[in-house]
Structures are given as C-alpha cells and as structure tokens.
Amino acid sequence: MEEDYLEEALKIPSKNIRIIQQDSIIKKYRIIEKNYIIEINIHKKVIKHNCLYWMHKCSKRYTLCKHLGKIFSIIFEEDSKNILKDLILNDWNFEVI
C-alpha cells in the first residue's frame, strides 16, 4: 500500500465499518458510507472487494486500497499480522465482488 493511501485509510471513521463475519476462515466487512464489501477468505487465499480503485488498479497490481488498509488497522492485531504475512509469502487472488 502506498504511504498516502495508508494516511487516507486511517481517516476512515471506524464507526463506518460493520463486521458481517469474522472467524478463523472468513472475514467480511461492510463500509457503510459507500456500501463497499470486503471479504478476506484465509483458507482460499482470496480477497474480494468492490471499490472503484480496487476494481481498476489494486486487483490488477496486487496492492491494497485504503479500505483494506483500514480493515487491517482495526482487525485483531495478531490476525492482521498473520494475514499480511501470508499475503507476502504466498499467492493470493484479488477479485472484484
């Protein structure tokens, strides 16, 4: 993630994030201001999202958008570290919902 996007990620109010599902395999969130969905499937190694930046840039370049930056900053620290480490070490698919 580019540094300026990380700054933008931290500006997203945490109150705008809704947890839809959060277990050891699936983590699914909704960003209410834009009705964006983020789904992280740890077992299948897939991240699905639907913001325009993700659709046109991130999913093709395997980078994270500000929404994913926000999610990784608010999910449990150990989960976040493990997922990010796995993203770096293994092949993940980035898909559009």
Instruction: Tell me the pLDDT tens digit for each residue of 23-42.
Output: 999 999 999 988 999 999 99
Question: How does strand 93-96 pair with strand 46-49?
Answer: parallel
Q: Which residue has the tokens 């996007």?
A: 5
Residue 63, CA distances (Å) to 22, 56, 94 in order: 22, 11, 9
Structure confidence at residue 67 (pLDDT) = 94
Structure confidence at residue 2 (pLDDT) = 66
- Mean pLDDT, residues 64-86: 91
